[in-house]
Structure 1
Amino acid sequence: MYNDTPLPGFGAEQGYRGPAVAKMVNISYRKLDHWTTKGLVKASVRGAEGSGTQRLYSYDDIVRLKVVCRLRDAGISLNKIELAMKQIDEKGIALSEVTIAGDSNGNIFAVDNHDQVIDLLMSGQGVFFIAVEPVAGEVRAEVSHLRSETAYPIRAFDLGEDSFEAI
C-alpha cells in the first residue's frame, strides 16, 4: 500500500553535479573528469552510467577533491597524491581526521597523531602541513550555495518484450 511507495528524496543520497563541483574547486571539468576516471577522486553518490547520466559527488568527495587541489598547488605530483590517498583509504582513516604532511623530498604522508608530526619535524627537512578539517569547513560553507540533486535508485521495468532501466 502506501508503505511500498517511495517518496521522492527519501532514502536517496544527495550529490552535486560535476560542472558545479569543478567550478567550486577552481579546476576545469575536463580535469575533474580525468581525475575521477583515474580513480584519484570518486563520484560516490552516482558514477557515470552511460550516455546521458552525470556523476554526482558527495560532500566527502568534494573535500577529497579540494585536498588534492591543495596538494597539486603545493607542487606534489598526481602519482604521489594517489599513493597518499590509497594509504588513507587502506588505513580506514576518515580524511577529515588526518593532516597531510609533505617533506622537501616530495614525499607526502597522512599524519593522524602527534608522534608522527614530531618525527617529521625532527627529520631535519622542510615540512609543510595541510590540516584537512579546515578544508572540510570551507567545503561545508561552499556547498551550502550549491543546488544538490537526488540520486534516485535505478530500477528495471518490464514492458513485455522490451525492458529498460530508468533513473
Structure 2
Amino acid sequence: MAANRYTRNIPLPGISDGRSGYRGPAVAKIVGISYRQLDHWTSTGLVVPSVRDAEGSGSQRLYAFEDIVRLKVIKRLRDAGVSLQRIRKALDEVVQRGLSLEELMLASDSAGNVIAVDDQQQAMDLLMSGQGVFFISIDPVSEEVSREVAAITPERAEPAVIMPLNRDQAI
C-alpha cells in the first residue's frame, strides 16, 4: 500500500519532546493569582513556560513543575511587598550565577532588595547585619506545589495524531 500523502510527521511549533505540563488556568489557581496576572508575568518574561509557549491564537501554554515553583516564589515575594523589578533582578542573578531555585533561599531586606542565599554563612551575615530580613526557603514551596499539582492531570506536549482519510469517506 502506498503512503498517504496527507499524513506527514510535521513538528508543531512550541512542542518540546513530549514533556508533560500544566495549563495556565490550573497554574494560576495553584499559585493564587489571576489568569490575567499569570499572562502578564509570562508576556513580560518574568517566567517562561518551559514545556510549551503559546504560538498564536488558540494555542495553550504548558508550565512545568519548576515553573510553578518559580511562580509561587514570585507570588510570595510580591505578597511581602517586593517589586517585580527587584524580583526580576534577583531571578536574573540566580540564572547568571548558574544556580537553580531549589539550591538556595531567597532573602529580602527592609529596603526591598532580594538576595539569593546559597550557603549558611551568607544567611548568618544577613541576619547579623541588623536589618529586618525575611527568608523564603524553596524546599517547602516545592513540597507545597507538589501536593497541589498531584490533584491535576498534566497534559503531554505532543502533536495530535492525524488519521488518514479513506478515499471513500466524505469530507
Please give the range of the TM-score, normalised by the shorter of the 2 chains: 0.7 to 0.9
Residue 97 in structure 1 maps to residue 117 in structure 2: no
Mapping 1:89-128, distance limit 5 Å: 89-128=95-134
The Cα RMSD (Å) is 1.4
Residue 23 in structure 1 maps to residue 36 in structure 2: no
Corresponding residue for residue 71 of structure 2: 65
C-alpha separation in 2, matches of 1:80 and 1:14:
31
Q: Which runs of 4+ in 1 moved over 3 A?
A: none
Corresponding residue for residue 147 of structure 2: 141
Corresponding residue for residue 78 of structure 1: 84
TM-score, with length taken from structure 1: 0.84
Q: State the secondary structure of the residue aligned to 2:111.
A: coil
Higher Rg of the two aligned structures: 2
Q: State the secondary structure of the residue aligned to 1:100.
A: strand
TM-score, with length taken from structure 2: 0.82
Q: CA deviation at 1:45?
A: 0.2
Identify the structure with the greater strand proportion.
Answer: 1
Structure 2: unaligned runs, 5 residues or longer: 1-8, 10-16, 161-171
Pairs aligned (count): 145
Q: CA deviation at 1:94?
A: 1.3
Q: CA deviation at 1:86?
A: 0.3
Which one scores higher on RCO, CA 8 angstroms, separation ≥ 6? Answer: 2
Q: State the secondary structure of the residue aligned to 2:20.
A: strand
Query: Which amino acid is 2:20 matched to?
Result: Q
Give a deviation string over 1:57-97, Cα, whole Å, max 9, x none: 00000000000000001000000000011011111111111
Structure 1: unaligned runs, 5 residues or longer: 6-10, 155-167
Corresponding residue for residue 56 of structure 1: 62
C-alpha separation in 2, matches of 1:145 and 1:136:
15
Identity of aligned residues (%): 58
Corresponding residue for residue 87 of structure 1: 93
C-alpha separation in 2, matches of 1:81 and 1:109:
9
